[in-house]
């Protein structure tokens, strides 16, 4: 029987889901599996965020990633691990099935899609913003303007996402049944 680790509103995160998240993250980062308190808390936070994002996407009817997009992401991970044989070895090392990896990759794509649709349109960057960034960096303007624009857009998108997550966390009841995850 799988024990509940976290309750997010009416949904739960189980110990099995938490352990899978840890193993998938280790595989994607090409690192050994670590199960220390910090790693477990980070995994629990990611799973809570994924639940909040999926909840918002379902309520707001944001488009989910297509099967083709998920397949492309799986293929990218396959290539990064040296092809099918390398991925099979990595999956075995991390005690995972490809279907589990696929589910986690789909969840990541859902989060990326949500961030793209919900927050990037508000992350506009003006020419004045780029000039200010050059001044802050004391740069001699060797960095291309579009690189600075992309960096600033990403920073603003991250800030908007973090503010939304903080507010959403305040509005929903999150109970950590496994106290080590707080």
Query: For 4-52, what is each residue's pLDDT tens digit?
Result: 999 999 999 999 999 999 999 999 999 999 999 999 999 999 999 999 9
What pTM value is reported for the model? 0.82
How far is the C-alpha of 44 from the C-alpha of 103, rounded, in Å?
16
**At CA 49, angle to CA 47 and CA 53, rounded to 5?**
115
Distance (Å, whole) CA 168 – CA 52: 7
Rounded to an integer, what distance in angstroms lies between the CA atom of residue 170 and that of residue 155? Answer: 23
Q: Which CATH architecture has domain 4-181?
A: Orthogonal Bundle (1.10)
User: Which pLDDT score, from 0 to 100, does residue 72 have?
Assistant: 96
CB neighbour list of residue 45: distance below 8 Å, 6 or more residues apart? none
Q: pLDDT under 50 in the chain at which residues?
A: none
Q: Is-contact 97 17, C-beta < 8 A?
A: no
Domain range list for the chain: 4-181
List, as own/partner pairs, every contact residues 115-119 make where C-beta atoms lie below 8 angstroms and the sequence separation is at least 24, other chains included.
115/157, 115/161, 117/62, 117/63, 118/56, 118/62, 118/161, 118/164, 119/157, 119/160, 119/161, 119/164
């Amino acid at each position: 029987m799988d024990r509940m680790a976290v309750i997010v509103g009416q949904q739960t995160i189980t110990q099995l889901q938490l352990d899978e998240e840890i193993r998938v993250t280790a595989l994607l980062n090409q690192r050994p599996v670590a199960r220390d308190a910090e790693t477990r808390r980070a995994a629990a936070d990611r799973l809570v965020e994924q639940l909040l994002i999926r909840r918002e996407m379902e309520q707001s009817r944001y488009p989910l990633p297509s099967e083709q997009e998920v397949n492309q992401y799986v293929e990218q991970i396959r290539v990064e691990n040296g092809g099918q044989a390398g991925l099979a070895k990595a999956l075995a090392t991390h005690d995972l099935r490809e279907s589990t990896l696929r589910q986690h990759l789909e969840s990541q794509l859902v989060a990326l899609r949500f961030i793209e649709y919900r927050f990037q349109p508000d992350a506009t960057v003006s020419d004045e913003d780029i000039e200010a960034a050059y001044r802050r960096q004391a740069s001699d303007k060797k960095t291309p303007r579009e690189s600075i624009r992309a960096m600033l857009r990403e920073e603003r998108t991250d800030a908007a996402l973090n503010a939304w997550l903080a507010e959403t966390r305040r509005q929903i009841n999150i109970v950590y049944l496994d106290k080590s995850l707080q």
